[in-house]
Structure 1
């Protein structure tokens, strides 16, 4: 079954800080956006050549909740150790400090960062094997 491409969409409390986290920290690029589309503003971020992107939306007049738990994760597998180190360094240089993962598994070979809404991103140094 070919599912083609995937978009992960979620609301945010503050669009600009979330965009900064994913652009400056993770290196995602702006793929599109919209303003006042049926009361929503949004931004899509992704990386060229990859079959997914992230969409963050703000509903005018409503405040989105923070992440429901510390286990709401996006995990990026980075096979090459030098590339993984460079990605971690980029996050820190952009002003995002690592946090201890709720599940200690992710701290063994990874580094976890929390975005402005409390959602967590793991940069995992290793191959995707499943």
Structure 2
């Protein structure tokens, strides 16, 4: 199936791209892969890891407000099964000034740490194998 090898872009709007950059670049260690300004009224930035099969895009439509995350259960989950890699990722977030928050779903507190970005969207750093690898 073609989608099994597709690269995925996860895009979402924001009211302040600059406020998100410390969270995703400094905290999570993403790189800026590209950006654009005033593309038909939109500004944006793509963040990720060059070798990963995904990247994140944050966009701002000039003159339009989107507000914060609609719930505390809007999550991006990164599976980090190796204890050292998980500890390093959590410490990187904390060194960048981001403290873990209690997860809306207590399951995520048992298997990892949850962090909230400036827009209220949450990222879970889970110390476990991805579901397709844990059978």
CA deviations on 1:41-68 (whole Å, 9 max, x unpaired) are 0000011211100000011111112100
1:116 corresponds in structure 2 to 118
Q: Describe the SS at the equivalent of 2:2.
A: coil
**Alpha-carbon deviation of 1:2?**
2.3
> What is the rounded CA distance, in whole Å, between the counterparts of 2:114 and 2:67 in structure 1?
21
Give the one of 95, 98, 120 matched to 2:97. Answer: 95
Q: Describe the SS at the equivalent of 1:96.
A: coil
1:34 corresponds in structure 2 to 36
RMSD, aligned α-carbons: 0.7
**Alpha-carbon deviation of 1:19?**
1.6
TM score, norm. by length of structure 1: 0.97
Where in structure 1 do 4 or more consecutive aligned residues deviate above 6 Å?
none
Alignment partner of 1:2 is 2:28: no
1:78 corresponds in structure 2 to 80
The runs of 5 or more residues in structure 1 that have no matched partner are none
TM score, norm. by length of structure 2: 0.94
Structure in which a larger fraction of residues adopt helix: 2
